[in-house]
Structure 1
Amino acid sequence: MEKTLVSVVGPTAIGKTKLAIVLARHFDTDVISADSRQFYKEMNIGTAVPSAEELSLAQHHFIQHKSIFDHYSVGAYEKDAISMLHKLFKAKDLVVMVGGSGLYIDAVAKGLDEFPEVPPHFRKNLNKKLEKDGLESLQKMLHELDPVYYAKVDLENPHRLIRALEICLASEKPYSSFLSYDKKKRAFQTVTIGLNTERSILYDRINKRVDKMVDRGLLAEVESLKNFKGLNALQTVGYKELFAYFDGNCTLDFALGEVKKNTRRFAKRQLTWFKRNQETLWVTPSMNEERIILKLEKDLIGKK
């Protein structure tokens, strides 16, 4: 049997973790996380890390294995994940990967593009500009230097903006000119199963998840991290909005409303990314799990 990586994708709060565990138990295999928000051990509630019970149901990798103080790039993750897959495929014919971070998923399945080396002063200057002039200044700069990438990047993610801008400035070429659409050859096939549902149902799931996070102690978690709010790992939905609250810049109700709104926007961007893959088998969270497994085996794993 050809070695197979089953990639479970979809927007936040859709139920990817549950499905990944079902698949892992059915195929007697491990789960690799491709959720870049769940890499950090200091971030638990706000990133919806699988519970202890869920983690006990299947062996997971790349869950809270780093600190927010560590620099961990998508390139480093690609190398670590491919190394782990090489090890797992010695004993397994199939491994499950799950997550909502499209760039990290593509890095494993397709490989990363090659970029030129960038002197550190470019990033240092861009970080200063972000701090002084705000995110909008970086968005405007990217629009001028690379309108192609501007049209598809997550404009609310300062890390992605700075990465693209430093390449533009250092190379004097658009970041998008370095992007390749040719897959790198992997020693395994990747099949993708996507979870999605009606937008109103998804948005309701998101709103309820945020409320549950608050009940579980999200405010205390964010408050414990407020002194480190400038770190890249913390530039994410659910944290930056509550940092504004703890800084006295808004009310709690407003901050939580922003968390829900920005999470919904994030989910929309995730779907836009994942729907680019025309070979994805899309299912709904309400679909019978046995039926999903049957469809996966019949429609995807059987294809070469």
Structure 2
Amino acid sequence: MAIKTIISVIGPTAIGKTKAAIALANHFKTEIISADSRQFYKEMTIGTAAPDPDELASAPHHFIQHKSILEPYSVGDFEKDALALLDTLFVTNDTVILVGGSGLYVDALTKGLDSFPEIDPTIRIELNAIFESDGIIALQEKLEFLDPEYYNKVDKDNPHRLIRALEVCIGANKPYSSFLNKAKPERPFQVITVGILAERTVIYDRINKRVDLMMQAGLLEEAKALLPYKSLNALQTVGYRELFQYFNGEWTLDFAIAEIKKNTRRFAKRQMTWFKRNEKTFWVSFDDDIKNIIHTVEQNKKT
């Protein structure tokens, strides 16, 4: 029986992962699982750069705009749902494409998550309220006190990560870090990871141009429609937070757009820090011929 394979396409935002994933899916006659947590939500199309209708029609996609921002959906939910889908896809496909810039979600499917106790959902509601009223510094200070070890590792500008760690610290009455890096069962498939890379100046230029295109496509109107839901977890993300501050009269529109670009560039830098931890990644240039990428995959694919 053929060895089942996930080809995982990773890289910073705006680098061209979707295009590469579609080309790979067409070559291997298979389907695509998205591991971009921002693209799960049907109300957030423009600001998340979700695949457009032509791209979605080019290859079967899963986990794109399949949830509402009103539905809680965690990385654990994604791991469970994606593994169940893989069981189905692997019946008729030896290879499945995984694509996305959310490193935690990529790792959840390919490696498995650390195990955490059930946490009272009201704790997250309270932490979201603290973030809304007192800002991210209040979360950072709380985590530094409750779990200094994780505080020194976590992306301190990411409210999702801070709130997740804090809810475990509070709900379990133990440091979040105490649950990390336990032994996990091996996955019944091989993973070939292809990372798409470019010079930092190229990445930043692509990000700036993408933000301009988003604004032209109607991001301002999309964010305005979501303003009543700004405290929801799904909307604590770049591209929406900045425009909410414009709507609240705190920033000018030009300044908000500049902040979106700056914060997206910072996000891309954090993505690369995460992805470069995987020493088995095959790195390719963003302008490399797709035939060369396919050749790299086929050379390293066990059969």
Range class of TM-score, shorter chain: over 0.9
- Contact kept, 8 Å, 2:34 with 2:63, in 1: the verdict is yes
* CA distance in 2 between partners of 1:152 and 1:92 (Å): 38
Is the partner of 2:194 in helix, strand or coil? Answer: strand
Is the partner of 1:89 in helix, strand or coil? Answer: helix
* CA distance in 2 between partners of 1:100 and 1:256 (Å): 22
The aligned residue for residue 127 of structure 2 is: 126
* CA distance in 1 between partners of 2:113 and 2:178 (Å): 14
* CA distance in 2 between partners of 1:62 and 1:281 (Å): 25
C-alpha deviations, 1:154-175, integer Å up to 9, x for none? 3222222111012112333221
Superposed displacement of residue 191, structure 1: 1.3
The aligned residue for residue 301 of structure 1 is: 301
* CA distance in 2 between partners of 1:124 and 1:39 (Å): 21
Is the partner of 1:114 in helix, strand or coil? Answer: coil
The aligned residue for residue 145 of structure 2 is: 144
Q: Does 1:57 align with 2:58?
A: yes
Q: Does 1:239 align with 2:211?
A: no
Superposed displacement of residue 121, structure 1: 4.2
Q: 1:181 to 1:198 in 2, by over 3 A?
A: farther
Q: Does 1:76 align with 2:69?
A: no
* CA distance in 2 between partners of 1:162 and 1:56 (Å): 36
Q: Does 1:198 align with 2:199?
A: yes
Tell which deviates more after alignment, 83-92 or 119-128. Answer: 119-128
The aligned residue for residue 189 of structure 1 is: 190
Equivalent residues in 2 for 1:1-304, closer than 5 Å: 1-180=2-181, 182-298=183-299, 300-302=300-302
* CA distance in 2 between partners of 1:50 and 1:128 (Å): 32
For residue 68 of structure 1, what is the amino acid of its counterpart? I
- Contact kept, 8 Å, 2:128 with 2:233, in 1: the verdict is no
* CA distance in 2 between partners of 1:266 and 1:196 (Å): 15
Q: Which runs of 5+ in 1 are unaligned?
A: none
Superposed displacement of residue 176, structure 1: 1.3
State TM-score, norm by structure 2.
0.96
CA-atom RMSD in angstroms: 1.4
* CA distance in 2 between partners of 1:120 and 1:209 (Å): 36
C-alpha deviations, 1:23-62, integer Å up to 9, x for none? 0000000000000000000111100010111111100011
Q: Which runs of 5+ in 2 are unaligned?
A: none
* CA distance in 2 between partners of 1:201 and 1:181 (Å): 38
* CA distance in 2 between partners of 1:68 and 1:14 (Å): 26
C-alpha deviations, 1:9-34, integer Å up to 9, x for none? 01100000000001000000000000
* CA distance in 1 between partners of 2:128 and 2:208 (Å): 32
Superposed displacement of residue 188, structure 1: 1.1
Superposed displacement of residue 181, structure 1: 5.6
Tell which deviates more after alignment, 166-175 or 289-298. Answer: 166-175
C-alpha deviations, 1:66-88, integer Å up to 9, x for none? 01111111111111100111000
Is the partner of 1:95 in helix, strand or coil? Answer: strand
Tell which deviates more after alignment, 226-235 or 143-152. Answer: 143-152
* CA distance in 2 between partners of 1:124 and 1:233 (Å): 13
* CA distance in 1 between partners of 2:259 and 2:219 (Å): 14
Is the partner of 2:92 in helix, strand or coil? Answer: coil
C-alpha deviations, 1:90-112, integer Å up to 9, x for none? 00000000000111111100111
For residue 265 of structure 2, what is the amino acid of its counterpart? R
C-alpha deviations, 1:244-265, integer Å up to 9, x for none? 1111111011000000000000
Superposed displacement of residue 180, structure 1: 1.6
Identical pairs, percent: 60
* CA distance in 1 between partners of 2:193 and 2:121 (Å): 37
**Alignment length (residue pairs):** 302
